[in-house]
Structure 1
């Protein structure tokens, strides 16, 4: 499962939408996406065009998990159960399909004997799309916010993706869409046909590399308490 990825930079949106855009002047997102971060997704727009919006990473945002319910993660939806799981089934049944643009995603690699973060992307460094689902939430003040999840498939036999995750764990991979299938996926309204898109991406078109996280900045040290005053006795 993928819980962290790098979306395209705002100035790369022209490549993502397939047309010249000026939207990035009004949108902002973090360099890396984590749970509940806002990031760009692409949905089916009017006239067969691609529609871009910002959505929260995770189908059920933490703020919408009822009090008393154990916090759970919904960044990834398994293709095998997407039609049954309560968090994803309504969006799947309504064909609320999206494509998640990114330049790479991150997975743990244990080949050295301990977990090392690797980046995974296209061999030519091009942005690419991952198949996903989206939904909307009513927020305070009448605002409507979107959220999304990524769809994953088994990768036990994938030449590249089987290298990741803990030894003995099932290997999983994001569903990377072929560039010429992105629009067909977005506009697909046949659920059985949609399943035909959920297949492995050719390993020969991908690459992986060590990508350690930058060291965290140390917390600022608390200022030392003021020194006690010298003897100021009046006597």
Structure 2
């Protein structure tokens, strides 16, 4: 009898490089929107930075992915919104490990509100506005994570054909309590334990969605993904009191998320048990 693989394949490098890059504020969370020419994060935003230092063999083994279209999958020290990252998804040909763009389609209501604000701003400057064209070309940087899975916008993607799991080894949240006066807000990093073993977010993916991600790109068609959030556990709450990602902690939960009827899979949208998450010491969390 073959032993069931465990969720502990990744190892951290001796030292991670110091990053000077930052999120440009182009992405939003759930069903909220703000606009000053770009998308902006609002209070409910959670987990817009993670890392994935494991390997594709471990990912395939745990998720039973039979197809791998990622090529040579390199470790990702920093994964930011709107970039390509590995997910495991259901496809007609079988379970696939694939690189997909991070940021699900935002709701039509959010885009309408954003286009309305843009139109109002242009009219104040005396410019003529074709609102339908403006709405069509309104940039949508993507919704990185989903809380209200029963909303009309998200219900269409509840089926197993749109579910995915997102591999990671640690995720970050800004820690306001650690901010120095006049400086940036440092990140607090979280993982299963200090060795940062492989774990998985529960997610949705959407095939071949046409939208304007960035004005300079124009209309593009891409596969998109994002992951679910839920109430924070006791480890997460001191840093982010409103939410944390939905983490699948074992192979059975991964299989349930990828195959079970919605009502059964929906029950996995709950906080990770406190004993399955740690905040990494500063020396292990440089990013």
Same fold (TM over 0.5): yes
Give the deviation of 1:60 after TM superposition: 2.4
2:257 to 185, 202, 207: 185
Q: What whole-Å deviation, never above 9, does each CA across 1:127-163 have from its counterpart, x for those lacking one?
A: 10000000012569xx9631101100011xx210102
- Shift of the 144–208 alpha-carbon distance from structure 1 to 2, 3 Å rule, reads same
What residue ranges of structure 1 are gaps of 5+ in the alignment?
214-235
Give the deviation of 1:26 after TM superposition: 4.5
1:159 counterpart = 2:231: no
1:147 to 224, 228, 234: 224
CA distance in 2, matches of 1:138, 1:199: 28
TM-score, length basis structure 1: 0.70
- Shift of the 26–126 alpha-carbon distance from structure 1 to 2, 3 Å rule, reads closer
CA distance in 2, matches of 1:52, 1:172: 27
Structure with greater Cα Rg:
1
Q: CA RMSD in A?
A: 3.1
Give the deviation of 1:31 after TM superposition: 3.3
- Shift of the 60–46 alpha-carbon distance from structure 1 to 2, 3 Å rule, reads closer
Match runs of 1:1-235 below 5 Å: 1-9=46-54, 12-18=55-61, 25-27=71-73, 30-44=76-90, 50-60=95-105, 66=135, 69=138, 71=140, 73-78=142-147, 81-86=148-153, 88-92=154-158, 96-112=162-178, 115-123=185-193, 124-137=195-208, 145-155=222-232, 158-165=233-240, 170-180=241-251, 181-188=253-260, 190-209=261-280, 210=282, 211-213=285-287
CA distance in 2, matches of 1:111, 1:50: 42
CA distance in 1, matches of 2:178, 2:72: 43
- Shift of the 112–207 alpha-carbon distance from structure 1 to 2, 3 Å rule, reads same
- Higher mean Cα deviation, 203-212 or 129-138? 203-212
The answer to whether the Cα contact below 8 Å between 2:82 and 2:142 also exists between their aligned partners in 1 is no
The answer to whether the Cα contact below 8 Å between 2:144 and 2:227 also exists between their aligned partners in 1 is yes
- The total of aligned residue pairs comes to 195
Equivalent position SS for 2:157: helix
Q: What whole-Å deviation, never above 9, does each CA across 1:89-148 have from its counterpart, x for those lacking one?
A: 3212565111000011110123335532011111142110000000012569xx963110
TM-score, length basis structure 2: 0.59
Give the deviation of 1:29 after TM superposition: 7.6
Give the deviation of 1:183 after TM superposition: 1.7
CA distance in 1, matches of 2:149, 2:209: 23
